[in-house]
């Protein structure tokens, strides 16, 4: 594994029109729902620091942006921080550490909200099943970023292994009501060093999951990781080091006709979004028009964003 890519993985915890140019529609093909992604822009010095900032996660209302950072003022190696704003049109405020209930003396990394906003799954290197596990915390008030309760490990021998887990994403199927946990893992049995898995919630529980299975159509012999889904479950974004990218890792996307179908072959988001360095950990706004992600362009980890528009007449 490349030294910089190894550092990043060890620490961290559509439309068809996603390429440049115009693509003619085939007979019976649906028109694209969104425009192409804009050129990526840095979130700026209020959010980003001179330290390593990565793993963005946006709340459903778009008013809280969680990310991990090793900036000063934390409790451990890396901590989870939150930047807030009063309205989606407002700029992000200065980040605040989530505090010692979530952050400990070890490292806390990538996180994900449940669709109802009451649960947070996050990556931590605190003692657990392996060198990096998924943990879960609950809060009563989904608007209180500092109301998280004592987290617990999602369990050994199932979601967590003796290897490394990271990049969680929670998705509730609007058709079936199934709650699914997508994540990446370096456990044995996959085609690459890091692969994408999915596990289903057990019954009505939102904090217990069954045995994970590989999402075969998204994995390669390279590192494939940190999936995030659009809320309808018909579009997914991943980070991958597969051939055909621009740098050490790129952002890719895949679609499907329904949540019962397999994912299409992933498509690279292209040079307006990806760079010659590592671009990873995407997170998508609830309306599907803003993509936040981490990038090492510029020589350090920063948070970036790209936008697109919903096209008239699309479903």
CATH of residue 242's domain is 2.120.10.30
| Mean pLDDT for all residues in the chain | 91
pLDDT of residue 315: 63
Report yes or no on 257 lying in a domain. Answer: yes
Task: Say if residue 113 is exposed, middle or buried (CB neighbours under 10 Å; 0-12, 13-18, 19+).
Answer: buried
pLDDT of residue 209: 98
Report yes or no on 114 lying in a domain. Answer: yes
Report yes or no on 314 lying in a domain. Answer: no
For 44-53, write each residue's pLDDT tens digit: 999 999 999 9
Report yes or no on 63 lying in a domain. Answer: yes
| Sequence-distant contacts of 41-45: CB under 8 A, at least 24 apart | 41/304, 41/305, 41/306, 42/298, 42/302, 42/303, 42/304, 43/92, 43/292, 43/302, 43/303, 43/304, 43/305
Report yes or no on 105 lying in a domain. Answer: yes
Q: Indicate whether 12 pLDDT > 60.
A: no
Query: DSSP class of residue 209?
Result: B
Domain that holds residue 103: 3-18+26-307
For 264-311, write each residue's pLDDT tens digit: 999 999 999 999 999 999 999 999 999 999 999 988 999 999 999 999
Report yes or no on 313 lying in a domain. Answer: no
Report yes or no on 164 lying in a domain. Answer: yes
Report yes or no on 312 lying in a domain. Answer: no
Number of domains in the chain: 1
Span 102-124, mean pLDDT?
Answer: 97
């Amino acid at each position: 594994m490349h030294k910089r890519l190894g550092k990043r993985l060890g620490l961290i915890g559509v439309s068809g029109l996603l390429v440049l140019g115009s693509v003619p529609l085939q007979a019976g093909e649906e028109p694209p729902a969104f425009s192409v992604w804009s050129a990526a822009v840095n979130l700026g010095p209020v959010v980003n620091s001179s330290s390593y900032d990565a793993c963005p996660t946006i709340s459903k209302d778009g008013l809280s942006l969680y990310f991990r950072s090793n900036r000063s003022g934390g409790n451990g190696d890396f901590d989870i921080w939150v930047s807030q704003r009063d309205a989606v049109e407002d700029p992000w405020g200065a980040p605040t550490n989530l505090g010692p209930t979530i952050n400990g003396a070890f490292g806390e990394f990538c996180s994900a909200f449940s669709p109802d906003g009451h649960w947070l799954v996050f990556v931590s290197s605190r003692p657990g099943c392996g060198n990096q596990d998924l943990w879960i915390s609950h809060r009563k008030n989904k608007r209180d970023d500092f109301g998280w309760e004592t987290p617990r490990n999602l369990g050994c021998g199932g979601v967590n292994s003796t290897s490394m887990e990271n990049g969680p994403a929670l998705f509730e199927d609007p058709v079936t009501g199934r709650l699914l946990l997508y994540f990446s893992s370096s456990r044995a049995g996959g085609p690459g060093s890091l692969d994408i898995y999915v596990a289903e919630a057990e019954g009505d529980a939102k904090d217990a999951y069954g045995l994970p299975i590989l999402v075969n159509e998204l994995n390669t012999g390279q590192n494939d990781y940190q999936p995030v889904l659009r809320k309808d479950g018909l579009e997914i974004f991943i980070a991958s080091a597969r051939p055909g990218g621009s740098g050490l890792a790129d952002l890719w996307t895949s679609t499907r006709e329904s949540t019962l179908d397999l994912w299409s072959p992933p498509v690279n988001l292209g040079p307006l979004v990806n760079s010659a360095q590592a671009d990873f950990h995407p997170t998508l706004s609830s309306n599907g028009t803003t993509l936040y992600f981490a990038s090492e362009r510029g020589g350090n980890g920063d948070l970036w964003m790209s936008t697109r528009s919903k096209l008239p007449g699309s479903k």
